[in-house]
């Protein structure tokens, strides 16, 4: 059976192979996004001693489908005096990079769409690009609240991109490659061989900057539904609104995947040497991603929102100095070929 | 697969996503209904058009940060290739980037002492 599939696969024209691969990557992401929204409502529900959605389907399992259908049927209202082309383009600009970044994410040593040498650079470029969607949306709406959201989003980028980029430089120093698969393979071994331990401050900074980058609570100032209504997407309805939602959640899953790949050994098992559970497997990657996704939800249920100048203060006075100092520590440790990580 | 094809896949993915979004819009047009109502397209300002225009010059109070951001972002761009070859080049690379980082870090501290990070 597998033989048959492989021969048919090889017989397919190359362009069709690529299209199929793209579908295989994008469709599961869409499904995960849908069910992540349900998981979020359920988890936050239980944290707040409620039940969460439980009416549509068994235990509320069909809720995301119902939401999607509802949003698909709703009308896309374009406000008066807005720039309509930019208004329509903004959600696409937000979503396209969030999905396209997945092309270079390896799920295990073989399963990846594009084995780019500069994979990490590509990811960094695309995740930064997603912010343009938010800023353009806020500008094009020609509405006060949307405009304020866009400005706040720009402020956030200015304070977090640097810390995030520096944290990645630490990973590059340790793995000396920009290819994500090579980075994971540099961490082969058990839980103490992974980069989280020598790069601990960078690991924390990277994940928190990732939370800020995806506009999640407590850094959701661009949205801030209790201060500026809904910030950049206040004017959006129907499918356009859903696209922003898709982009945000796809980015969350992306950040979770990247953190797991770069700091927690990706698909490597924490207990090498044991039978069955010691094998490197895609399941380990998913388990690590789920932990980070749960953290995203937990943060949202726990922390109040930062003021935007507090965010900038945290970014510039804490994260950037910490990362710069720790980069030097890592650089020296790499030269000294320290421990199980850098030899 | 050659490098060009790898980039071809990335390009294809972006085109594919845009196509997917446009087909969603088309589907929305096909199955959704649109009602004509008065003032439904007024922006969220309590039902009235905003008195003042929104597209005006606005004092971005974080321009100091923005300038520092440019300096550090450029530095980061230099650090990526540096980090990849760091281990081969060894101590020379450490000293080179160390000096560069130190100058920028002193700049950061100077800006800090002059109140560049105060709320304006």
Chain segment A283-326, per-residue pLDDT in tens: 888 889 999 999 999 998 888 888 877 888 888 888 988 998 89
The number of beta carbons lying within 10 Å of the beta carbon of residue B78 is 12
Task: Note the ipTM here.
Answer: 0.84
CA–CA min distance A217, chain B (Å): 21
**Where is pLDDT greater, at A6 or A174?**
A174
State the pLDDT confidence band at B120, using cuts at 50, 70 and 90.
low
State the pLDDT confidence band at B46, using cuts at 50, 70 and 90.
low
**Which 3 state secondary structure label does DSSP give A307?**
coil
Determine, for residues A317 and B117 on separate chains, whether the beta-carbon distance falls below 8 Å: yes
State the pLDDT confidence band at B114, using cuts at 50, 70 and 90.
confident
Q: What pLDDT score was predicted for residue B13?
A: 81
**Where is pLDDT greater, at B7 or B23?**
B23
B26 touches chain A (CB under 8 A): no
| 30-59 of B, contacting A, C-beta below 8 A | 31-35, 40-45, 49-50, 54-55, 58
- Dist. CA A149–CA A137, nearest whole Å: 9
**Residue holding tokens 């951001």?**
B69
Q: What pLDDT score was predicted for residue B47?
A: 64
φ and ψ at residue A296, rounded to 5 degrees: -55, -45
Q: What pLDDT score was predicted for residue A254?
A: 92
Mean pLDDT (whole number) for A117-122: 84
pLDDT, one tens digit per residue, over A199-253 is 899 999 999 998 988 888 788 877 777 777 777 888 888 888 888 888 889 999 9
Q: What pLDDT score was predicted for residue B52?
A: 74
Query: What are the CA-CA distances from residue B12 to residues A10, A117, A121, A189, A274 (Å)?
Result: 20, 18, 19, 36, 41
pLDDT, one tens digit per residue, over A78-116 is 887 788 888 888 888 888 888 888 888 888 777 777 777
A338 touches chain B (CB under 8 A): no
CA–CA min distance B11, chain A (Å): 9
CB neighbour class for A8 (10 Å; exposed up to 12, middle 13-18, buried from 19): exposed
Lowest mean pLDDT among A65-69, A242-246, B28-32: B28-32
- Whether residue B34 has pLDDT greater than 80: no
Determine, for residues B32 and A73 on separate chains, whether the beta-carbon distance falls below 8 Å: yes
Percent of chain A whose predicted confidence (pLDDT) is above 70: 99
- Whether residue B44 has pLDDT greater than 80: no
A128 touches chain B (CB under 8 A): no
Average pLDDT value over all residues in chain A:
85
- Whether residue B92 has pLDDT greater than 80: yes
Contact A283, A30 (CB under 8 A): no
Q: What pLDDT score was predicted for residue A291?
A: 92
Q: What pLDDT score was predicted for residue A206?
A: 92
Q: Chain A interface, mutation test: which of B2, B5, B9, B120, most A Cβ atoms within 10 Å?
A: B9
Q: What pLDDT score was predicted for residue A4?
A: 78
Alpha carbon B52 to its chain's center? 29
Lowest mean pLDDT among A10-14, A121-125, B92-96: A10-14
Alpha carbon A131 to its chain's center? 13
The number of beta carbons lying within 10 Å of the beta carbon of residue B6 is 18
B115 touches chain A (CB under 8 A): no
Percent of chain A whose predicted confidence (pLDDT) is above 90: 12
C-alpha angle A226/A229/A231, rounded to 5°?
110
Residues 6+ away with beta carbon under 8 Å from A285: A107, A108, A257, A260, A261, A266, A267
Contact A130, A98 (CB under 8 A): yes
Determine, for residues B73 and A162 on separate chains, whether the beta-carbon distance falls below 8 Å: yes
């Amino acid at each position: 059976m597998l033989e048959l599939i492989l021969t048919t696969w090889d017989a397919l024209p190359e362009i069709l192979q690529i299209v199929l691969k793209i579908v295989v990557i994008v469709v599961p992401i869409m499904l995960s996004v849908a069910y992540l929204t349900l998981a979020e409502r359920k988890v936050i529900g239980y944290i707040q001693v409620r039940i969460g959605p439980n009416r549509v389907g068994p235990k509320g399992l069909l809720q995301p489908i119902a939401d999607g259908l509802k949003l698909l049927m709703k009308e896309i209202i374009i406000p008066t005096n807005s720039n309509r082309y930019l208004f329509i383009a903004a959600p696409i600009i937000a979503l396209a990079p969030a999905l396209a970044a997945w092309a270079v994410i390896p799920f295990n040593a073989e399963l990846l769409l594009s084995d780019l040498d500069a994979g990490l650079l590509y990811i960094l470029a695309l995740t930064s690009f997603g912010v343009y969607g938010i800023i353009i949306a806020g500008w094009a709406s020609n509405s006060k609240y949307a405009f304020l959201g866009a400005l706040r989003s720009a402020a956030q980028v200015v304070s977090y991109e640097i810390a995030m980029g520096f944290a990645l430089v630490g990973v590059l120093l340790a793995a000396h490659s920009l290819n994500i698969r090579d980075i994971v393979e540099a961490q082969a071994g058990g839980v103490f061989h992974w980069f989280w331990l020598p790069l601990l401050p960078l690991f924390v900074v990277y994940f928190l900057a990732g939370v800020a980058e995806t506009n999640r609570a407590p850094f959701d100032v661009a949205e801030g539904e209790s201060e500026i209504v809904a910030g950049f997407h206040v004017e959006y309805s129907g499918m356009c609104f859903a696209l922003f939602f898709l982009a945000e959640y796809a980015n969350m899953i992306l950040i979770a995947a990247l953190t797991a790949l770069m700091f927690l050994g990706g698909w490597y098992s924490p207990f090498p040497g044991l039978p069955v559970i010691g094998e490197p497997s895609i399941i380990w990657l998913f388990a690590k991603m789920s932990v980070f996704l749960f953290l995203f939800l937990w943060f949202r249920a726990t922390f109040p929102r930062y003021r935007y100048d507090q965010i900038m203060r945290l970014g510039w006075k804490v994260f950037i100095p910490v990362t710069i100092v720790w980069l030097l520590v890592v650089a020296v440790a790499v030269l000294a070929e320290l421990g199980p990580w850098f030899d | 697969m050659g490098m060009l094809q790898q980039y071809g896949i990335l390009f294809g993915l972006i085109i594919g996503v845009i196509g997917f979004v446009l087909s969603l819009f088309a589907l929305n047009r096909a199955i959704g209904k649109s009602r004509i109502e008065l003032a439904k397209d007024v922006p969220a300002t309590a039902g009235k058009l905003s008195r003042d225009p929104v597209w005006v010059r606005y004092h971005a109070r974080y321009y100091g940060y923005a300038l520092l951001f440019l300096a550090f972002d450029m530095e980061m761009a230099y650090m990526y290739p540096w980090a990849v070859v760091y281990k081969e080049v060894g101590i020379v690379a450490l000293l080179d980037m160390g000096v560069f980082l130190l100058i920028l870090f002193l700049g950061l501290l100077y800006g800090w002492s002059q109140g560049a990070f105060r709320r304006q």
